[in-house]
Structure 1
């Protein structure tokens, strides 16, 4: 005979589903605010956008650090796939173009998320770790796509990473007013100058 303890009651299952919906709503609200350019959203702003009370927010996330970790978990596979997909064949010149195109796709989609992390990295350990992991991932991807750069002098390699970085991309796009197409052209040209001997 099955005891009632081994079954999940409809009431309990409904509670669990509501809990999961609230948690998802909070994560999606955080992303929505960031995408709109609110780079340092408060727990209250996020709760309001998610349509939940502030107490519900803190039942799901004990602090902003745990929220940022959940947000990163929810989007990481998407932006990592953007980097890793695309054509990895061709001449060195073609592969440089492919690398810049892939980075551009990521930078354009998650620019405000990166800027938010940069603005708050000093405060939250999870953001520092996520940023460091992303930098290692981008460097590794360049190594895989452009193995020729491993044989270049260290100072040249560091310059390559700087040129391929989000910081360079953001400066050209936001501070110097370049279009996406123009920025891709500038970054590709600089990388080719350094890499193609």
Structure 2
């Protein structure tokens, strides 16, 4: 009987450890979603309901928390940005692409802002941000194969117009509604892509 009880102990500890780890990740992501773009280890530990020592028992440093958070959420991000209706005329596909990006930017805008605010500190964030930017460029060209015929400066203009940074400027700095921001981005992309 003693053997049975003790043999299950390591599994129990491992499960508790995994739950604590997941609670730490979810706490950090929840805080970022709420607008706390640079949460501290102390804030994360309090939100997760674990001691500060527990945070650093599970994670070597803050950067390693971001690494696991990115791995945890990558599929969620990709489901949004890679989804959407890709059929129709060029004008329809431009609208669909912008609407799909707007959905992702609205859902994960604070995660992107957090990454932008901290990528100078953590090489992993900088690397991941670069990877996502390359993915977004490729994704837009999948939506709009017509981009291949644009010259280099027009192509860069398209990616600038479709970027989170431009979206954030319209929504946050200029205070536009989501619908108005979509309209502006669509109008600008049409002017560059369809006019060519």
TM range (shorter): over 0.9
Q: Paired residue for 2:162, among 161, 164, 186?
A: 164
Divergent runs of 4+, >6 A = none
TM superposition score normalised by structure 1:
0.95
Tell me the distance in 2 between the aligned counterparts of 1:64 and 1:126: 11
Q: Which runs of 5+ in 2 are unaligned?
A: none
Tell me the distance in 1 between the aligned counterparts of 2:189 and 2:66: 33
> How far is the alpha carbon of 1:79 from its aligned partner?
1.1
Q: Paired residue for 1:82, among 80, 83, 99?
A: 80
Q: Which runs of 5+ in 1 are unaligned?
A: none
Tell me the distance in 2 between the aligned counterparts of 1:134 and 1:13: 36
Tell me the distance in 1 between the aligned counterparts of 2:117 and 2:81: 23
Deviations 1:15-59 (A, max 9, x none): 011000000000000001101111110011001100001111001
Tell me the distance in 2 between the aligned counterparts of 1:134 and 1:52: 31
Q: Paired residue for 1:121, among 102, 114, 119?
A: 119
Structure 2 counterpart of 1:39: 37
Structure 2 counterpart of 1:65: 63
Tell me the distance in 1 between the aligned counterparts of 2:136 and 2:178: 20
User: Equivalent residue of 2:60, what SS?
Assistant: coil
What is the CA RMSD across the aligned residues, in angstroms?
1.3
Tell me the distance in 1 between the aligned counterparts of 2:143 and 2:35: 32
> How far is the alpha carbon of 1:84 from its aligned partner?
1.2
Q: Within 5 Å, which residues of 2 pair with 1:76-155?
A: 76-155=74-153
